[in-house]
Chain A
Amino acid sequence: MTNCLDFRREKLADPRHLSPGALAHMSDCAACRGFSAEINENEAQLAAALDVPVPEGLAERIVLRRRAGARNVAKASPRLWAMAATVVLTFAFGFQQWKDFSSQDYARLAIEHVMHEPESFTSTRLADPQLFRSVMHNFGGEMQASLGKVRFMKLCPVPDGTGWHIVFETEQGELATLILIPAKRMQSQREQATVGGWTALARPGGQGYYAVITQSPETLGKVDELVRQRVRWRG
Chain B
Amino acid sequence: MSLFSQRQFDQAARAYSADLYRYAYWLCRDRFVAEELVQETFARAWKNWDSLEDLAAAKPWLITILRNEHARLYERKRLDYTDDDPQELDLPSAAQAGSHLELEQLVEALPETYREPLVLQVLGGYECKEIAEMLGTTEGAVMTRLTRPRQALRAHLSDPAKARVAQ
Binding site for B on A (CB under 8 A): 9, 12-17, 38-39, 42-43, 45-52, 54-55, 58-59, 61-63, 65-66, 70-71, 73, 76-77, 79-81, 83-84, 87-89, 96, 116-117, 125-128, 130-131, 134, 157
Contact between chains at A55 and B36 (CB < 8 Å): no
Contact between chains at B143 and A13 (CB < 8 Å): yes
How many residues belonging to B are interface residues under a CB distance threshold of 8 Å? 57
Q: What per-residue 1/0 map shows which CB atoms of B20-53 lie under 8 Å from chain A? A: 0110011011111101111110111011000000
Q: Which of B110-150 contact A (CB under 8 A)?
A: 118-119, 121-123, 125, 127-128, 142-143, 146-147, 150
Task: Give bound CA distance, A42 to B41, whole Å.
Answer: 31
The yes or no answer to B100 lying at the interface (CB within 8 A) is: yes
Contact between chains at B73 and A80 (CB < 8 Å): yes
Q: Which residues of A contact B69 (CB under 8 A)?
A: 80
State whether A76 and B40 are in contact (beta carbons under 8 Å apart), knowing that A13-B146, A39-B150, A63-B10 are contacts in the complex.
yes
Q: Which residues of B contact A81 (CB under 8 A)?
A: 73
Subset of 15 A-B contacts with CB under 8 Å: A12-B146, A13-B147, A14-B121, A17-B127, A39-B150, A50-B107, A62-B39, A80-B69, A80-B73, A116-B31, A126-B98, A126-B100, A131-B97, A131-B100, A157-B29
- Which of B11-19, B81-89, B159-167 lies on the face that meets chain A? B11-19
Q: Which residues of A contact B37 (CB under 8 A)?
A: 80
State whether A62 and B17 are in contact (beta carbons under 8 Å apart), knowing that A55-B31, A73-B40, A130-B98 are contacts in the complex.
yes
Task: Give bound CA distance, A83 to B39, whole Å.
Answer: 13
Contact between chains at B46 and A38 (CB < 8 Å): no
Contact between chains at B38 and A58 (CB < 8 Å): yes
State whether A54 and B21 are in contact (beta carbons under 8 Å apart), knowing that A45-B103, A62-B38, A66-B6 are contacts in the complex.
yes
Which one of B33, B107, B123, B154 contacts A83 once the chains associate, using CB atoms below 8 Å?
B33
Task: Give bound CA distance, A15 to B143, whole Å.
Answer: 11
Binding site for A on B (CB under 8 A): 6, 9-10, 13-14, 17-18, 21-22, 25-26, 28-33, 35-40, 42-44, 46-47, 69, 73-74, 97-100, 102-104, 107, 118-119, 121-123, 125, 127-128, 142-143, 146-147, 150-151, 153-154, 157-158
Q: Which residues of A contact B102 (CB under 8 A)?
A: 49, 125-126
Q: Which residues of B contact A134 (CB under 8 A)?
A: 98
User: Could you tell me the distance in whole angstroms from the C-beta of A38 to the nearest C-beta in chain B?
Assistant: 7
Contact between chains at A66 and B128 (CB < 8 Å): no
Q: Which residues of A contact B107 (CB under 8 A)?
A: 46, 49-50
Contact between chains at B17 and A73 (CB < 8 Å): no
Q: Which residues of B contact A17 (CB under 8 A)?
A: 127-128
| Given A47-B123, A54-B22, 9 new contacts (CB under 8 A) | A12-B147, A54-B18, A59-B17, A63-B14, A66-B9, A73-B43, A81-B73, A83-B33, A84-B33
Task: Give bound CA distance, A65 to B151, whole Å.
Answer: 42
Task: Give bound CA distance, A79 to B31, whole Å.
Answer: 15
Least CB separation from A11: chain B residue: B150
